[in-house]
A and B are shown apart, each in its own frame.
Chain A
Amino acid sequence: MQLLYAVRGTVWIILYLFFILAPLFALLTAPLPPARDFWTEFSAALGYAGLAMMGLQFGLTARFRYVTEPWGEDVIYHFHRQISLIAVGLVVAHPLILFAVRPELLGLLNSISAPWRARFAALSIYSLIALVAMALRRAKWNIRYETWHVTHIILAVVAVVAGLLHMVGWSFYLAAPGKRALWIGLTIFWIMLLLYVRVVKPLFMLRRPYRVVEVRQERGDTWTLVMQPDGHPGFRFSPGQFGWLTLWGTPFKITGHPFSFSSSAAGADGRVEMTIRNLGDFTSTIRKVSLGQRVHLDGPYGAFTIDRNPADMHVLVAGGVGVTPMISMIRTLADRGDSRPMILLYGSKDWESITFREELEALTARLNLTIVHVLANPPAGWTGERGFITAAVFKRHLPPPYADHEYFICGPDVMMDAIEKALGELNVPLAKYHSERYSFV
């Protein structure tokens, strides 16, 4: 199973590089314009490759399950963010190198006197810089997520289309009709990827709606939405996976919200549950959902599942509402009658806010499950673990050798960083721990 994912992942990496490099090297086919100096040709190649990488960004966020499965959605978004810096760097390097070797081109920076082909280049680069700056500084500049998301998409489309118009307008390599058609076709393909996730997928979701059949309050200002497929069989998921929820309005809304499924994956009626903590943003509206309300779900996604990582002992590490994928795993193993040992290290603010506290306690009777609560603010007389989950907590509760277990971690970023560090101290190899960062959007 793991090998299959590794092979699939490798194939997609090769295809990704192919889609960047093949259109570039296609420019070397006849008919060829006269060659220029090395740095001019190098800078042109960087421009073409950078634009191809920008275009492929639409593919990375198009939620192709088959593509994202080997890594998980959070990692794909991580790659999307990091690689965008490289792509923008390459695109920006293109004019900088040209200006350095051919200073007479600096006149093109004057957008009033510059020809259109240069204006499009400037528009593309300014859009890219704005796009990256907004993505990096969104929180600091206090930009609403929805506003940022719409602006992000518009800037990306403008950057790519303006980049293409610059290349076509310059009419050097793309003077040849075949090469021009190839790059215009590629740009259309990239925009189609965007249309797929923004139009085709929502249309599909519209035809497969869900109804809210229960809104259940849980401990810790947290609510569980129980959703039933309306007129279709729903989908099967693996415990630990998540879906994109559109609660209010149509699935064509730009911003969906990713939440882990908290129900058992062993259920056969397509009913799914999501457990959502009120964090003051969109999540504060969950309690206002009415019974029978129509909602839309896109899923399942994610590589964070025990089904892909069978182990003799599962160690689940949850912080706060990060318990939601864990409860799905635990409920599923209970329904499957799985008797393998499992330990849940569960960090919470205080005793009263421990979501699923009673149910977890009850599940210990049906499973070989040990629960260790770690409380930041323990009540008077508390004899259990206090503070945060550290390497010392692992040592006190896990049987060695620590490297033999599979670790599943979900919680706030700061906690996950600390846990990964703690597991490193215990010499647990990287391949043994699995995490899903729910702050990836």
Chain B
Amino acid sequence: MRRLLADNLVFATAAIVIAMAALFAALRLAG
């Protein structure tokens, strides 16, 4: 149960971080 939760957290973290990196780049271009 806890391991499954950890696996899901890994995927969620990866998705959030990549999305935030894209947001970072978009904000930069938006000035």
Contacts and interface: CB of A to CB of B under 8 A. Distances in A.
Contact-size category for B: 20 to 34
A90 to B, nearest CB: 7
Contact of A25 (B6, B13, B24): B24
A38 B2 contact: no
Interface string B9-31: 11001101110111011111101
A135 to B, nearest CB: 15
A41 B29 contact: yes
B24 to A, nearest CB: 4
Interface string A404-430: 000000000000000000000000001
Nearest to B21: A45
B2 A71 contact: yes
B7 to A, nearest CB: 7
Nearest to A37: B29
Contacts of A39: 25
A78 B21 contact: no
Given A35-B29, A430-B1, A42 B24 contact: yes
B15 to A, nearest CB: 10
Contact of A41 (B9, B10, B13, B28): B28
Contacts of B25: 38-39, 41-42, 45
Contacts of A20: 13, 17
Contacts of A27: 24
Contacts of A21: 16-17, 20
A303 B29 contact: no
A258 B28 CA distance: 47
A113 to B, nearest CB: 29
Given A86-B13, A430-B1, A78 B6 contact: yes
Contact of A46 (B2, B6, B18, B26): B18
Contacts of A74: 2-3
A42 B21 contact: yes
Contacts of A75: 2-3, 5-6
Interface in A347-379: none
B20 A24 contact: yes
A154 interface: no
A13 B9 contact: yes
Contacts of A437: 3
Nearest to A35: B28
- Point out which of B3, B4, B21 has the most chain A C-beta atoms below 10 A from its C-beta: B21
A383 interface: no
A28 interface: yes
A82 interface: yes
A303 B5 CA distance: 14
A337 to B, nearest CB: 30
A49 interface: yes
Contacts of B29: 35, 37-38, 41
A61 to B, nearest CB: 14
28 contacts: A16-B13, A21-B16, A24-B24, A25-B24, A41-B25, A41-B28, A41-B29, A42-B22, A42-B24, A42-B25, A45-B20, A45-B21, A45-B22, A49-B17, A53-B13, A53-B17, A74-B2, A74-B3, A75-B5, A78-B6, A79-B6, A82-B10, A86-B10, A90-B17, A90-B18, A303-B2, A431-B1, A435-B3
Given A13-B9, A21-B17, A74-B3, 19 more contacts: A17-B16, A20-B13, A21-B20, A27-B24, A28-B24, A35-B29, A35-B31, A37-B29, A41-B24, A41-B29, A42-B25, A45-B25, A46-B18, A71-B6, A78-B3, A78-B6, A82-B7, A83-B10, A434-B2
Interface of A: 13, 16-17, 20-21, 24-25, 27-28, 32, 35-39, 41-42, 45-46, 49, 53, 71-72, 74-76, 78-79, 82-83, 86, 90, 303, 430-431, 433-435, 437
